[in-house]
Amino acid sequence: MIGLPPECFMSAFAADLVILTIRKGELHVLLVVRGIEPFQNERALPGGFRRQGESIEDAAIRELGEETGMPDGLVALEQVGVYSASDRDPRGSVVSCAFLAIAPNLPIPVPAQGSDVKDAGWVPLSKLGGGEALAFDHDRILRDSVDQARDKLQYTTIATAFCDEEFTIGDLREVYEVVWGVPLDRANFHRKVRNATEFIVPTGRTRSSGGALGRPAELYRAAGKVSVLASPILRGSLVARR
């Protein structure tokens, strides 16, 4: 058996995380402020190097806990892609696997003592892109991850991951509007969602609209049986006409 050349073993492996949630009607991403070089005092996605004997998934979960204080199991991670440009990290050749997670009502992050971050917090996506670049190639990773989330809204049940356990169709529509960044036709959206099999199911309960004349809104939960929609909810067919 012919051995591999030494250069095949010179890359380090890391995990980077894009954690998305909706806060106050806006899509937010979790960012950290790096406490060490390179890019000290600059904002970045949470993440770090894989340790010996660790899978890349385990490294992602560990780094999320160390840099944000989030306990294991609070968010479910899915892979976005692998980033391996030779100049992405000034320390040398670092291959990163990016992960995406989506969840509602996530807590204010608190970095663990001794971690390599100074601070962590939720940042509206609308506040990014105005000149300040994230560390490394994290702008690209964030852009790819948001694009993946927006696309998955059309073909999967991922939108319910932004919602509480019980929600109204209006709550669900707000998720689509916030993530896609466009207003949707209410009646058309309601019809599409109600006709989508194994997407949401009624709980039999209602929520008061808060108004004197408003009808209570029906509450639903995620069906939870499938992850792919049999009938896609396509963005172009739902955008409200002006």
* pLDDT tens digits in sequence order for the chain, 242 residues long: 455 455 544 579 999 999 999 999 999 999 999 999 999 999 999 999 999 999 999 999 999 888 888 877 778 899 999 999 999 999 999 999 999 999 888 888 888 766 788 999 999 999 997 667 999 999 999 999 999 999 999 999 999 999 999 999 999 999 999 999 999 999 999 999 998 888 999 999 999 866 555 688 999 999 987 789 988 999 988 888 76
pLDDT confidence of residue 210? 61
Whole-number pLDDT of residue 242: 62
- Taking CA atoms, 166 is separated from 99, 220, 222, in Å, by 26, 5, 8
- Any idea what the Cα angle at residue 90 is, between residues 85 and 92, rounded to 5°? 70
- Which pLDDT score, from 0 to 100, does residue 191 have? 94
Query: CA-CA distance, 242 to 238, in Å (whole number)?
Result: 12
Please provide residue 78's backbone torsions phi and psi, each rounded to the nearest 5 degrees: -135, 145
Helices (H) and strands (E) in the chain, counts: 4, 9
Burial 53-77 (b: 16+ CB within 10 A, else e): eeebeebbbbbbbbbbbbeeebbeb
What is residue 233's predicted lDDT score, i.e. its pLDDT? 92
**pLDDT for residue 52:** 92
Q: pTM for the full model?
A: 0.88
